[in-house]
Amino acid sequence: MFSTWKSWTVQSLAVPWKPNSHASQQSTSTQNNLQESLTPEELSAVEIFKQARLSVVHIIALESARDLLKKEWEGIFGLPGEEQNPRGAGTGFVWDNQHVVTNHHVMAGSKEAKVRFFDSTEELEAKLVGTDPDHDIALLRLVQLPKNDLVPLTRGISEHLLVGQRVYAIGNPFGLEYTLTTGVISGLGREIASRVGRPMFNIIQTDAAINPGNSGGPLLDSRGKLIGVNCAIASPSGAFAGIGFAIPVDTVKKVVEQIMQFGRAIRPSLGIFFAPEQLGRRLGLEKGLLILYLRPNGPAEKAGLLATKREKGSGRLILGDIVTSIDKRPVNRAVDIYRVLETLNVGDEVVLEVIRDGQRIDKKLTLEEMVEDNNKQNSSDWFRRRQLTCRL
């Protein structure tokens, strides 16, 4: 239902894992001689890479493969019954003195990873702390620390970015470790769909070359500060076509802080299941979103909103409330509500304007955390609702 956000294919950037070796480095004397002939802009790029490469890592996501023979003997001799095999690879970067950030889709299906730093063959063990699929962010904790101290990237502020700024991307495209590409910010405030179909807002667009394997790598400004996390490309072929996307660092900060505190991302919810937009139009709604279901004892139900139902006996369909605005911002598509909720937190109050029996009324409600229904009773009905409705 969100296909209107884009007219291109948005390609995630994780790649299948394959072993790789570092290219030999030039001698210090040779580098010094070369630097004398470089322009100030080139020297700046060289220095940014030299500093940032210490913070960028190659991530190898692992998946469990249980060996049946080991499983048989495990209970007798205490042998391990799990093996960790490489599943895919991507890029990440040091966040603090123990954590590494990457994309959710790099770690999807994995709870452990091997992390390798620049100019090192040592693969360090890391465990997944938590992910936010909606913002394509994952946080790893290093179980093993490298011999040298960790060097977190200095964080910038993505709110102050301007189109035309010089940017630098570091990653492992196609397994070619620690590749630097340069470009500019081509656009700001883009909207793309996450892996789970939820819109991601305020995305940075860049023409710095980004390819599969760059997933989770940093996008840096001309001072070497982190301004985004590379996550996807727009491409008709699956290869780089001049349009790359990065999650803004302001969003990353918020998500990482939540994962550190709660082990998960905290999303505010109205407790409403909306009818798909096309269904509302078929029912004759010119604007607004129709409420199909309400989460039991959720914010919307507590506020007295009404869901669609069938009249007992006759089976006649009685339409529920139609939400036409949230905090005075018009609502015609699900993305309109997503955009407002993106700026709010659990506990904030919002005012929904709804149409009920032809009358406009305002309903104030307090946002609560989005929760999953673990009640297995009527599970088939629950999954039907999830597939047919937009959950907010």
List of residues 6+ apart from 13 with CB closer than 8 A: 90, 103, 105, 171, 210, 211, 212, 213, 214, 215, 216, 230, 231, 232, 233
φ, ψ dihedrals at 255, nearest 5°: -65, -45
Region of 111 on the Ramachandran plot (φ > 0 left; ψ -120 to 50 alpha; else beta): alpha
Partnered with residue 365 across adjacent β-strands are: 350
- Computed from CA positions of residues 140, 143, 145, 146, in that sequence, does the dihedral angle turn out positive or negative? negative
- For residue 152 the two structure tokens come to 């977190």
d(CA 168, CA 177): 15
Non-local CB neighbours of 65 within 8 Å, separated by 6+ positions: 82, 83, 84, 85
Q: What are residue 87's phi and psi, to 5 degrees?
A: -110, -40
Q: Which residues are catalytic?
A: 105, 136, 215
Alpha carbon 185 to its chain centroid, in Å, reads 20
Are the C-beta atoms of residues 87 and 17 closer than 8 Å to each other? Answer: yes
Kindly state the tokens that stand for 336: 């309109």
Helices then strands, counting H and E runs in the chain, come out as 9, 24
- Identity of residue 209: A
At 219, is the secondary structure helix, strand, or coil? strand
* Chain-centroid distance, C-alpha 266: 13
Task: Please report, in angstroms and rounded to a whole number, the separation of the first and last CA atoms in the chain.
Answer: 14
Tokens of 323: 């939400």
d(CA 126, CA 140): 6
DSSP H/E element including 380: helix 379-388
Cβ(58)–Cβ(93) below 8 Å: no
